Each structure stands twice: as structure tokens, then as C-alpha cells.
Amino acid sequence: AYQRAFAEKRNAAAGRRAWAVAAAPWTGAAVSAAAGRTVALAFFEPSTRTRLSFELAARRLGADVLDLDVRRSSVVKGEEERETLLTLEALGAEVIVVRTARDDLRPDAGRLTRATVVAGGSGMHAHPTQALLDAYTLLEAFGRLDGSGPLRLSGLTVALVGDVRHSRVAASLLRLLPRLGARVVVAGPPTLVRRDDGLVPEAAVVPSVEAAVEMADAVVLLRLQKERLSPQDVAALGGDVDVFLATYLDRYGLDARKARRLRPGAVVLHPGPVWPDVEIARALLDDPRVLVRRQVENGVFVRMAVLADALGLSEDEKTGAAATPG
């Protein structure tokens, strides 16, 4: 509903810097669904897409936003995470979106505050709203959002390609996609795609990225998480990260050669931030099969829906927010 309402506003504003004009009504007083409510963003790890789209989503619902700038906050003076979250709660935050480098966000944060905590990326463990927006983008790409059937990805094969082991996006997609009926396969550097990590119980590991690309209706490229490589990982990758990176695109990334193996109708996703000419050839970023920008766009609608639920908006309030005239 939020996506449809946005498209209507965009069409109505066609020719007048459409996207900016179309977005404006959501930022004004016309929206009341979450007026007077407060959403806080507490990102203890850097983010562009998740933080900004949660902020936009909250504003489009009419909520006030507290965006904690960790580098200018008392966190740098050593204030504990618990005190930070309780301070946001005391300032009125009913929902706190938290990103942390640690894996134990949910049980920990749930005990720390009475506010509803929404994961904005939790260590290597989970990035649920990214998985939701990826699934939404797939439902859209394969025509499953037209209301004619259930929201399912049945019959589709999705390949997760790259650094599966360190990817919280992959961890969440491995939980979500099979529940929507998709078959999931994974491929990438052997060190970074290991069944014995327990991270790929739902998925078949295929021996090469080429094979994964050939069998997939959708290829989800994953960010190579250089910052999470341990000395043991580096040793297993050949001992020299720079050499590994220099050969990554040819061996494991989506270059023109592998893109020619994509099935007709196949699409390519990447959660971002993209590392051009490592995970995907720079020229392919403009290929219409590559839905990276669409994922970002859809992220706002999906996060509006997540926040609407987290704020406990009624169905009428949710619908009213979508239908607010522009």
C-alpha cells in the first residue's frame, strides 16, 4: 500500500521533479498516523541505506525521529549501551532501531529497554528488514504482488553468492526465503561458504559461482566483509588479502562473462554497499536486471510497514497513512 501510494503521488507530480514533489506530502502536517510518536535510531555501526530509509519511513508515517549520532554522542565518553537506550526511551522513543557489531542484539536489547527494539543489522547474525525488502523486491520482480495469489516465491531458485559466512543479510535470507517457498543455493569462496559454520542449513552449496548463476532465477550478491576476516580466514584465502581482492571479480564476482550465463528473466540483487569491480563489474550496475537501486527504494516502504507494526498502528491508521492525499 505504501509503495502504491507513493507511485500515485509520483505520477501526479510527473514532470515537476517528480520524486521530490511526490515525497513532500509525507513530510508535512497532513500525515497523522504516527504524529506525536517517536522513533529513535541508534546505529553503533556505520550505515547509509538502513539508517536513512528508517528515518524516511518514520517521517513518512508522521513520527518524530531521534537519530543518535554515535560519534558525537556520550557513547564516545564511554556511556554504556544500556544507558544510551534508556536515555532514548526517556526522551519518548517507543521504537528504537539498533545496529550493532555484536550478534546478541535481540535478547540483550529486549532486556534493556521497554521500547520496541527493531534490528537494523546485528553483527553477523541477522538483518531482518534487509531480508524483508529483498523478498519484497523479488515478489515485485516476479509479478507476485498483484493480489492474485499468496505472497510466495514458490518455484524460484535464489543463489546467495559471495561472503555468505560473514553476512547477516545471508543469515536472514536463509531464514526467510525457504519460508516463502524459494529454493536457496549458495556459492562463493570455499573459506567463506562453509556448511560446517552452521550458517547454511537450509541451502545447497553449489561448487561454483558459474553453476549457481546458471540455475538461479535471482542472484543475491553479498558484500565481501573485509573487516570481519580473521587472521585464520586470511591465511585460508592465500595469505594476502590484496591478491585475493584483485582476483575476486574474475573468480567469484558477477562480471560480463558470468552475466552471460544468467537465465532469461533472472535478476540480480545486492544489499549494498556495493564494491564495484569486486563483487560486480561496475558496468553491470546500470544493467536493468540489476535491482540494487530498486531494493533501496523498496526499503522505505517495507520499513514503513515494519514501523507501523512496531508502533502498534491500527489497520485503519496504517491504511490512512498510505492513502493520505498528496
Interface ranges with ligand CP (CB under 6 A): 47-50, 121, 127, 130, 271-273
Distance CA 170, CA 163 (A): 9
Minimal distance, residue 273 CB to ligand CP, in Å? 5
Minimal distance, residue 300 CB to ligand CP, in Å? 13
Minimal distance, residue 109 CB to ligand CP, in Å? 18
Peptide bond into 273 cis (omega under 30): yes
Beta strand pairing call for 116-122 and 218-221: unpaired
Distance CA 86, CA 98 (A): 13
130 vs 157, beta carbon nearer ligand CP: 130
97 CB-side CA count, 13 A: 31
Minimal distance, residue 225 CB to ligand CP, in Å? 11
> Is 186 within 8 Å of 205 (Cβ atoms)?
yes
Residue 96 β-bridge partners? 40, 117
3-state secondary structure 44-87: CCCCCHHHHHHHHHHHHCCCEEEEECHHHCHHHHCCCHHHHHHH
Distance CA 250, CA 204 (A): 23
49 vs 261, beta carbon nearer ligand CP: 49
> Is 200 within 8 Å of 174 (Cβ atoms)?
yes
162 vs 271, beta carbon nearer ligand CP: 271
60 vs 99, beta carbon nearer ligand CP: 99
Minimal distance, residue 167 CB to ligand CP, in Å? 10
33 vs 269, beta carbon nearer ligand CP: 269
> Is 27 within 8 Å of 62 (Cβ atoms)?
no
Minimal distance, residue 44 CB to ligand CP, in Å? 12
181 vs 273, beta carbon nearer ligand CP: 273
128 vs 253, beta carbon nearer ligand CP: 128
Minimal distance, residue 124 CB to ligand CP, in Å? 13
- DSSP for 132-194? HHHHHHHHHHTT--SSSS-S--TT-EEEEES-TTT-HHHHHHHHHHHHTT-EEEEES-GGGS-
Minimal distance, residue 49 CB to ligand CP, in Å? 4
> Is 68 within 8 Å of 54 (Cβ atoms)?
no
25 vs 120, beta carbon nearer ligand CP: 120
